Amino acid sequence: MKKYDNLVKNAVGRLVPTVINGEQHFPYKGVGMHRPTGKKHSPSISTCIDYPDDGNKTVASLKEALIKSGLKDGMTISTHHHFRNGDLISNQIFDIAHELGIKNLRWFPSASFPCQERMIKYMEDGTINRIEGSMNGPLGKFVSEGKMSGIGVLRSHGGRYQAIQDGEVKIDIAVIAAPTADAFGNANGVNGQAACGLLGFALGDSQYAEKVIVVTDNIVPFPCVPWQIQGNYVDFVVKVDQVGLPEKIVSGTTMITKSPDRLLIAEITAQFCEAAGLIYDGFSYQAGAGGTALSIGNYFGEILRKNNWKASFIRAGSNKYAVEMLEEGLVGYILDGQTFDLDGVRSMRENANHVATSPFTSYNFHGKGNFASMLDVVILGATEVDLNYNANVVTHSDGYLLHGIGGWQNTLFAKTTILPIPLFRDRIPVIRDEVTTICAPGEMIDVIVTERGIAINPLRQDLIDKVKNSGLPIKTIEQLKAEAEAICGVPEKLVLGDEIVAVIKWVDGTIIDAVRRVIA
């Protein structure tokens, strides 16, 4: 079997394979151009005959649960990343698979982290064929250098749900690490030593996987409430000594950036939003948990306070700052996808207006709408943007795959997408003739805010008109590029290998770009 085949030029002009790991895929056709057909995926029908009447589904070990789930060669194993770099379970799954001599597994995490570096060993010895999910740090390096057997597939959080729902990825065994669960399999992320707030990334896995294993270090008597994961989907429950490392799951404090340049970017971003009339009584926004994004949230808070306005909701990644705004009454609701610090976890536990969401509610493009498109403003990062406003979030300018897509592509559907980014990072200009990898078509990016000026996509004449007399440093994207190159020098053209090592999916499951091997 060829790793990939049938290359075609897609709607953003990139040559992408349509057969990947032996499976058929669609090339990207343009925003809103791909219409899915058929029925959603359905796992086999279960029956209560097979489950204990007393609801006790506990088994002695993860190994036993995996064996009872029928673990065998070629299966797809899914995990979630709510424990971030404090995950202790994913590695154990593949330790067991390795011990049992199982080969050729597809690991389907909602994101990978440096703590899972051990998977490199299992990719080398054939236990794992490929990762389909974000690839960060050492895993990204391994894949970029063409060392993985299969082709990596990177999806957004919404795209992952879509792929599960549409049957594009059939999960054989979902392993859901949970901070708290009961013996029936009801589970949540708000209680327990490994509290991470919520378990939304595992929702699709629980609904559509053939077998579901909940692993926890905190078994509580039935009923475990809230049941963010419903036990009715769960086959086995495993009690372990420790499910995750709390200090690496949530940080004690999330910090606003101290970098003067980034603070300046945040300040200009907020000034832009104010001048463009994007902030009003009842507006909504989403900003990440990076230092710059946190600082922008703070400035938004000041603007709301000054005008005696209230935001209707924040979509988050929640943290201390969002929680303070909720508690001060500056926002009505936090619709939370993942919780970044202990204040976020506490708030989610105690405040009815701090609501757990999932990629299904927030991001799934093959649903009857989602929350992301209702947002007024989304603040996102990027590694590169080109002169057509196409943006990259997964590879660096040297071609290495170092970030996941996360909710990035999904939130592009907000009314206004703003990328506050430094004009260059350690000499590497952010604005390029062509991005290394296209993760977003230019029409989805509205504004670039740098410390040296703001560029507005010509498609947003409305915004251009609104800030015309604001005194803000509005420039063209070409001017910004020239300014960076005057400082850094004109970058040489990146030379990559021909071989494809991974593909990037668009929110509708089509292939928007391919990642080529780095010549190390």
Partner 1 sequence: MNNYSFAGNNSPDTKSDCFVAFELRKSGGNVIDIKSKVMALYGKSIHALAEDMLNFFEIEHGHLIIEDTGALDFVLAARIEAAIKLQISSNKDYLLEGSAENKKPTQKEQFRFSRLYLPGNTPKLMISAGIHHPNGLILDLEDAVAPSKKYEATFLVRNALRNLNFYGAERMVRINQIPKGLDDLKIVVPQYPNLILVPKCEHPDDLIRVNQAIEEIKSQHQMGDFPIWLMPIIESAKGVLNAYSIATAAMNVAALAIGLEDYTADMGTRRTTAGTESFFARSMVVNACRAAGIQPIDSVFSDVSDMNALAENVKTSKGLGFDGMGCIHPRQIAVIHENFAPEAIEIDKAKKIVLAFKEAEENGLGVVSLGTKMIDAPVVKRAQRTILLAIKTGKLEPNWEDLT
Stretch that binds partner 1, among 32-40, 195-203, 394-402, 459-467 (CB under 8 A): 394-402
**Nearer to partner 1 by C-beta: 220 or 488?**
488
Interface pick for partner 1 out of 214, 264, 316, 503 (rule CB under 8 A) = 264
Determine if 427 is a binding residue for partner 1 (CB under 8 A). yes
Total number of residues that touch partner 1 (CB under 8 A) = 21
Q: Which helix (H) or strand (E) holds 79?
A: strand 76-79
CB 298, min distance to partner 1, A: 14
Cα 360 from chain centre:
13
CB atoms within 10 A of CB 1: 8
How long a stretch of residues is the chain?
A: 520
Strand-pairing partners, residue 214, are: 176, 237
CB 491, min distance to partner 1, A: 4
Number of helices (H), then strands (E), in the chain: 15, 29
Determine if 15 is a binding residue for partner 1 (CB under 8 A). no
| Cβ neighbours of residue 279 closer than 8 Å, sequence gap 6 or more | 273, 300, 303, 304, 309, 376, 377
Determine if 261 is a binding residue for partner 1 (CB under 8 A). yes
Sign of the CA dihedral with 439 first, then 441, 442, and 443 last? negative
Cα 81 from chain centre:
9
**483 in the Ramachandran plot: left (φ > 0), alpha (ψ -120 to 50) or beta?**
alpha
Question: How far apart (Å, rounded) are the C-alpha atoms in residues 424 and 126?
Answer: 40
**Nearer to partner 1 by C-beta: 99 or 433?**
433
Bond before 226 cis per omega within 30 degrees: yes
Starting from the edge strand earliest in sequence, which strands make up the sheet with 152-154, in order?
152-154, 500-505, 511-516
Stretch that binds partner 1, among 164-172, 203-211, 338-346, 426-434 (CB under 8 A): 426-434
Stretch that binds partner 1, among 59-67, 96-104, 363-371, 423-431 (CB under 8 A): 423-431
| Cβ neighbours of residue 45 closer than 8 Å, sequence gap 6 or more | none
What is the SS3 assignment for 146?
Answer: coil
**Nearer to partner 1 by C-beta: 352 or 495?**
495
CB 426, min distance to partner 1, A: 3
Determine if 489 is a binding residue for partner 1 (CB under 8 A). yes
Stretch that binds partner 1, among 35-43, 213-221, 458-466, 487-495 (CB under 8 A): 487-495
**Nearer to partner 1 by C-beta: 192 or 399?**
399
CB 256, min distance to partner 1, A: 12
**Nearer to partner 1 by C-beta: 71 or 263?**
263
Determine if 492 is a binding residue for partner 1 (CB under 8 A). yes
What value, to the nearest 5°, has the Cα angle with vertex 43 and ends 149 and 184?
A: 105
Interface pick for partner 1 out of 15, 374, 387, 428 (rule CB under 8 A) = 428
**x-or-dash pattern for partner 1, window 213-252, by CB under 8 A?**
----------------------------------------
Stretch that binds partner 1, among 69-77, 248-256, 260-268, 361-369 (CB under 8 A): 260-268
Determine if 399 is a binding residue for partner 1 (CB under 8 A). yes
Look at strands 284-287 and 377-379 and give their pairing.
parallel
Interface pick for partner 1 out of 126, 167, 226, 491 (rule CB under 8 A) = 491
Query: How is 488-503 classified by DSSP, letter by letter?
Result: H-PPPPP---SSEEEE
CB 136, min distance to partner 1, A: 18
Determine if 398 is a binding residue for partner 1 (CB under 8 A). yes
In the 8-state DSSP scheme, what is residue 383?
S
CB 111, min distance to partner 1, A: 25
CB 260, min distance to partner 1, A: 4
Stretch that binds partner 1, among 18-26, 73-81, 164-172, 257-265 (CB under 8 A): 257-265
Interface pick for partner 1 out of 11, 100, 374, 488 (rule CB under 8 A) = 488
The CA-to-CA distance between both ends of the chain, in Å, stands at: 26
What value, to the nearest 5°, has the Cα angle with vertex 386 and ends 383 and 388?
A: 140
Look at strands 128-131 and 152-154 and give their pairing.
unpaired
CB 510, min distance to partner 1, A: 29
What is the SS3 assignment for 175?
Answer: strand
- Using the structure block, give the residue that is written with the tokens 């979509």: 315
**Nearer to partner 1 by C-beta: 387 or 494?**
494
**x-or-dash pattern for partner 1, window 452-481, by CB under 8 A?**
x-----------------------------
**287 in the Ramachandran plot: left (φ > 0), alpha (ψ -120 to 50) or beta?**
beta
CB 116, min distance to partner 1, A: 24
Determine if 260 is a binding residue for partner 1 (CB under 8 A). yes
In the 8-state DSSP scheme, what is residue 23?
E
**Nearer to partner 1 by C-beta: 244 or 399?**
399
Paired tokens of 20: 């990947």
Q: Please give the residue ranges that form the binding site for partner 1 (CB under 8 A).
A: 260-261, 263-264, 397-399, 425-428, 451-452, 486-489, 491-492, 494-495
